Amino acid sequence: MREYFPLLVVGALIGVFTIVFSVAFAMIKNKKEAIGFDRSMKDGELIRRLLVYAKPHRKSFIAVGLTMLFSIAYDIASPMMVGHIEEMVKDDFELSRLFAYVGMYAGILIVSLICTYIQMVILQKTGQKIMSALREDLFVHIESLSHEQLNLMPVGKLVTRVTNDTNAISMMFTNLLVNLFKNIFIIIGVLVAMLCLNYMLTLMVLCFVPFIVLFTVIFRKFSRKAYRQVKDGTTDINTFLSENLSGIKITQIFGREKAKLSEFDEKNTRLRKAKYSQIFVFGIFRPMVYMLYVSSVLCLLYIGGKGYIDGTVFLGQTLTGGVVVSFYMYINKFFNPIQNLAEQFNWLQSALASAEKIFTVMDIAPKVVDEPDAIELDEIKGDIEFKDVYFAYVPDEWVLKGVSFKVKAGDTVAFVGSTGSGKTTILSLICRNYDIQKGQILIDGIDIRRIKISSLRRHFGQMLQNVFLFSGTVRSNIVLRDESFTDEEIMEACRYVNADSFIEKLEGGLDEPVREMGNNFSAGQRQLLSFARTILHKPSVMILDEATANIDTETELLIQNSLERLMNIGTMLMVAHRLSTIQHADNIILLSHGEIKEQGTHKELLALKGRYYRLYTLQYNKERLTGTGA
């Protein structure tokens, strides 16, 4: 057996050198591959930020670490105990000693299993708590972004960030990190145990390390590429589904099902091929490592068997049958962690990639924020003033140009004009959905930028043309999850806006289910629910943006009646194309290309015989001919 020693020493030195070189190469490679992920953050920064969420649960991780030590102790001690049992049975058999060893082995195994169970329970609970906190912070941050920022972010990508990416990070806390350290300690412990048993056989095992490292490097390269393709494909298909399922009715109306199916099939095929690539890479790597394991076992049986038969004693160590049995078990425990480390390191990188994507969203600073000295307004009268306001969605492409007007508390003001004249923009600016570039907007003489956003919007009730209803019930959509309102208060608001006329006919009444987007209600019914929702929350200023558009005549009469009542509550700002609905407004402002061209009452503007007069005459003649007039 001594004749193999120089060869084994050379092989072992190559193995150790390969380990050191591969670790150094991996660190350098990691920095380069950070660019491949298009990261703006280093791995260290990502881990530091993730640990902020783990810090409150440090006691749980300490408990996991302690239980992990028992599991590692079993992995290291069990082969040695089996070897002792084998030698005892062969050389000096005593039934009592055998029972003692077997009992000890079973005791360590039971303790290890219990510790592993406790470890997994603690990790799963802790991981879910961490993910819940991260997911909630991400959702709250998304809610804080301005309308402009949200318009630039596809909903599907945001959904992927909140779901898929947080799940990838969850795996890191519940499985990866602990097992990563556990496998490293097992490898070190197994090597130390093997060295204590027999130098020669340990050197033999180290000769296989260069091949393991080579396969691992190749595996990492291809698996990371495959995973990146899977991740991109998943995000792409989620974005496609989010958009196209929301607009599926348009697809059906225009008969574009085959075209959309073709587009979906292309994305689905790309994701399937990426999954195939990932499966193929894993399918190649595992058999290769298993092949090395089998090869090392064959070498062990040859060298160990030969040494045992010859009775070789090397450096004071005798090669016995128990040593060979122990090494057989240690080889398995040596190769398994290495195989797991390669895969776990890959998943760790993917988790960090997900963390980078999440923190990229969380690092987007909201454009519309409270000023440091912003104030709370318990109530407002409803005086509104625009002072030489300029606003542009795109720099230098002005939507509003020096707009100035005043609205007295309790007045009803209507904005009219052609599409793109800036009517809806004015209403959005009053609620501070966007910030203006020049000028001032005052509420009760206070610049709205000096008022806390939540306080400002609490006093506004917005009724838009496209009413959004959430999945739930009629009640939940009116109260918006505020359970402080009683059924009597809810129905009083519904009666005030004539919504009770159809709610009372529903089988479930206020508890009638509302499907996604409220598609089991007509446009007019959705609008009446929007009115009831607004009235219930008692706003000081009401905003109606084309609230009477695209509804049937019968429902329009109900809404018109509701509007007359709403005008008596407080300040009202309206945008309407049907001029017949705004004749009783206290002031009508006509906009064109972002500028105020005319303003006054309905009679005053008709008397001017200007733009409003021409617009009204044209619409009146059209309604008379089509029979759609109010």
155, 263: one domain: yes
| Whether 412 and 349 share a structural domain | no
- Whole-angstrom distance, CA of residue 353 vs CA of residue 228: 9
Structural domain harbouring 255: 15-362
Q: Which residues of the chain have pLDDT under 50?
A: 1, 3-5, 7-10, 19, 21-39, 630
Which contacts of 528-531 are long-range, i.e. CB under 8 A and separated by 24 or more positions? 528/494, 528/497, 528/498, 528/499, 528/502, 528/555, 528/558, 528/559, 528/562, 529/467, 529/469, 529/474, 529/477, 529/478, 529/499, 530/463, 530/464, 530/467, 531/463, 531/497, 531/499, 531/559, 531/562, 531/566
Number of domains in the chain: 2
Q: What is the pLDDT of residue 566?
A: 64
Model pLDDT for residues 597-629, shown as the tens digit of each residue: 999 999 999 999 999 999 888 877 766 655 555
Within a 10 A sphere around the Cβ of 540, how many other Cβ atoms?
20
Question: Quick check: is 94 in a domain?
Answer: yes
Per-residue pLDDT at 23: 46
**Residue type, position 427, single letter:** L
Instruction: Let me know if residue 392 belongs to a domain.
Output: yes
Q: What is the CATH number of the domain that holds 226?
A: 1.20.1560.10
3-state secondary structure of 515: coil
Residue 583 domain-assigned (yes or no)? yes
Q: Is residue 476 part of a domain?
A: no
Q: Does residue 549 fall inside a structural domain? A: no
Euclidean distance between CA atoms 203 and 196, whole angstroms: 12
Task: Give the residue from 159, 158, 245 showing the smallest Cα distance to 519.
Answer: 245
The answer to the question of residue 396 being in a domain is: yes
Residues whose CB is less than 8 angstroms from the CB of residue 568 and which lie 6 or more positions away in sequence, other chains included: none
Task: Identify whether residues 296 and 436 lie together within a single domain.
Answer: no
- Residue after which a domain boundary falls, among 327, 362, 397: 362
Q: Which two tokens stand for residue 378?
A: 């318990």
**Do 355 and 245 share a structural domain?**
yes
Instruction: Give the H or E element holding residue 384.
Output: strand 384-391
Same domain? 283 vs 384: no
List the structure tokens of 434. 């966007």
Together in a domain, 123 and 261? yes
| 27 and 109, same domain (yes or no) | yes
Task: Tell me, yes or no, whether 353 and 438 share the same domain.
Answer: no
Instruction: Give 421-478 as a DSSP string.
Output: SSHHHHHHHHTTSS--SEEEEEETTEEGGGB-HHHHHHTEEEEESS----SEEHHHHH
Rounded CA-CA distance 530/544 in Å is: 10
Residues 399 and 356 in one domain: no
- Flag whether 524 is in a domain: no
Identify whether residues 358 and 420 lie together within a single domain: no
Residue 442 lies in a domain: yes
Reduce the DSSP state of residue 583 to 3 states and report it.
coil
pLDDT digits (tens, 9 = 90+) for 414-436: 999 888 889 989 998 998 989 99
Q: In this structure, are 351 and 407 located in the same domain?
A: no
Note whether 138 and 273 are same-domain residues: yes
* CATH number where 437 lies: 3.40.50.300
* Residue showing tokens 């091929």: 273
